[in-house]
Every structure is written in structure tokens, then in C-alpha cells.
Amino acid sequence: MEMLCFLLFSLKMGINSFYNELMDKLQTDKLQKFQQSLLNWYGGNARILPWREDPAPYRVWISEIMLQQTRVDAVKPYFERFLQEVPTIRDLAALPEDRLMKLWEGLGYYSRARNLKKAACIVMEQYHGRLPSDRKSLQTLPGIGPYTSGAIASIAFGAGEPAVDGNVLRVLARLSGNRGDLKDKAVRADLNALAEKLLSRQKPGDFNQALMELGALLCVPNGRPKCGECPVQPFCEACRQDAVDQIPVKTRKAKRKTENRTVFIIRFQHRIALRKRKEHGLLSGLWEFPNRYGHLSPEDIGKVLMEWGICPETITPLPDAKHVFSHLEWHMKGYAVRVKEKRETCSFVWARQEEIHRSYSIPSAFHAYLKALEKV
């Protein structure tokens, strides 16, 4: 009797083992079809981008930092100009900060540029000028987090690491039908684990870029996704449920704070007044046109100019301007001020117009008034 039970148990275990092997094979086959469908589509539809033409580690790193919260079309000219002037990590480590800020002018999020330089100095000191290839070491460098380290490791070094950015999170949420809030850490952890399972170990760089490209071109965040053109539509749970408009779930962003500013274009002879912002906080360390919080009355404008040691000859209103940061809006009123005389105590830097365009990094928040220099 004991022997019969043992034989039946062994047979059952054999059947279960066969079933499990069969299910594993079916899952593997499905995964391979998913990977191949995505990679084939990417091979025929990937955009031609300068950093893809030569995915060397330094080029991939620079492109990934520039692309953080910035549109591809906006990055392309900056990338090419930056690489032309700063072609190596050694050059970046030695680059003066003022020149770095000028090269970055208009891209925004200037801490990215400062972190690039800090990281380049560390790479020169600790890694003999070569970017490390493993994800753990990459994440010790300033400005490189989980996504950027995965992108560099997989694209530049062929390492089997996922790279999950906002586009990829959206794609994975729709593929899996995940209705959790993308701001929830547990939801993001689940989607990162899914990315790890789906990753092609043979072509990790192409696979990661294919998922990003899918999110940028077809599985878009705004408007109806182009499901009819999607190479992995047969594998998509959100599509099966007709729920692509409901997934992913994202909580509404808090309303941006608004801040009023009065900006002055102050001209003395052939020079324009500039001042450097504080080394911490918003737009830290960049050059700006003198400005004050609030929309000032004519009386207050006179007091501020006197406080700065400025004796105005004429004060002319300029068009209003607005600049939107991620968390804040500046609503600006501008004035062109021609100066009759200025006190020696005036603490501004006075630069010629051509010097401003060549050497001073003016953040895009002031670009409306930078253009006004031609007319005042």
C-alpha cells in the first residue's frame, strides 16, 4: 500500500513537473514574441537622434541628463553644440562654471549641469577618466539615479539593466492593466519589477530604448494612444479592457503658485546692468536683469532705483511677460531704464550687449526681456 501511494505521488509529481515545464515554455515563448515584436518595430521606426548614432558612454550620459524633463527636439541642438565644445569627460571636468552655464542656457534645471561637472571631476579622480559600467557605481555619481544609471549601463555598455522613465512607466501600466497611482511607491516598484522580467538580455539597450520610443510615439500621454499601430497591442491588458484612457492613474498636480515680478533693463551708455543670483535656490548662480518681487507702483520704482544708486533719465514700460517653472509661474512687468548717472556704490555688473550674448548665462525666465535689448 505504501509503495502504491509512493508510485501515485511520484506520478502526480511527474505530471505537475511536466505541466510546470510546459507552462514555463509557453510563458517563455510569449515573452520572446513580445520582445521580438517590440525590437522589430524599433528597428524600423526609431527616430534618428545624434546620441544614437554613436552610443559611447560619455555621449549617452550627456544626452540622458539633458533629456530629463526636456523635449527631444529642444535637446538636439544643445547636445551637438555641447559635444563640439566639450568632447570628453576631461574637458567637462576642466570647464569653468560660467562657461558651462552659458552652454546650458535655456535648457533649464541648471543643477543638472552642475552635477555633470561634479560627476566628471569624480570620474577623473576615481575612475581614471572612464565612466563606470555598472549600475551601482554609476548611481554614486551626482545627478545619476536609477533610471539614468540603467540607461547608461544598458545602452552604452550592454548591461542587462532596465531603464524605467515616465514614458516606460506609462507603457508598463497599460500593458499590465495596473490601475494603481503612478505616484505610489509600491506601484512603481511593481512596474520596475515587470520591466526587469520583460527585458531582453540579448539586446538590453535597444529594448529599453524601444519601450521609451513606444511611449513617446504611440503610447502617448496626451490624446488617444495609437493602439492600431502598436507592435505589442496583442499583449496589452489595458487595450483588452478598452481602458487605455483610464490607465495610468495619476493624481492631479497641485496648482502652481504665481509670483509677480518687476524687471528692469537698465542701460548706462552702451552697457546693461546685470547681477548674479544667490548660490542657492531657484536659478542659483545665474545672471539676471535686476528685478524685484511684486508689481511695483511708479513711486516704488523710483525708490528702488534710488536704492540701487540709479538716477534715471527715462523709464519706459515694456510688454508683460510670463515664465512657467514646474512649480511656479512668474508674471512679470518690465521697464527699460536709461541712466543719466549712477553712484559708485551701485553693485551691478555692466556688460555690453554682445558680451551678454557671448558670456553671460541668462535663464530663459528672462528671455522675453533679453530680446527686448534690441529695441531699448
Contact between 365 and 330 under an 8 Å Cβ cutoff? The reply is yes
Give the H or E element holding residue 166.
Answer: helix 166-176
What would the DSSP string read from start to end of 268-329? ETTEEEEEEPPSSSTTTT-EE--EEES---HHHHHHHHHHTTEEEEEEEEEEEEEEE-SSEE
Which one is catalytic: 21, 64, 354, 355?
Answer: 64
Contact between 289 and 296 under an 8 Å Cβ cutoff? The reply is no
Helix orientation angle between 204-217 and 146-157, rounded to the nearest 10 degrees: 120
Contact between 251 and 325 under an 8 Å Cβ cutoff? The reply is no
161 is a catalytic site residue: no
| Cis, bond preceding 225 (omega within 30 deg of 0) | no
208-240 burial string, b = 16+ CB within 10 Å, else e?
A: bbbbbbbbbbbbeeeeebeeeebbbbebbebbe
Task: With H, G, I as helix, E, B as strand and everything else as coil, classify residue 344.
Answer: coil
Q: What angle do CA 121, 127, 131 make, to 5 degrees?
A: 80
C-alpha span between 45 and 375 (Å, rounded): 45
C-alpha span between 376 and 273 (Å, rounded): 13
C-alpha span between 70 and 368 (Å, rounded): 20
Task: With H, G, I as helix, E, B as strand and everything else as coil, classify residue 202.
Answer: coil
Kindly list the catalytic residues: 64
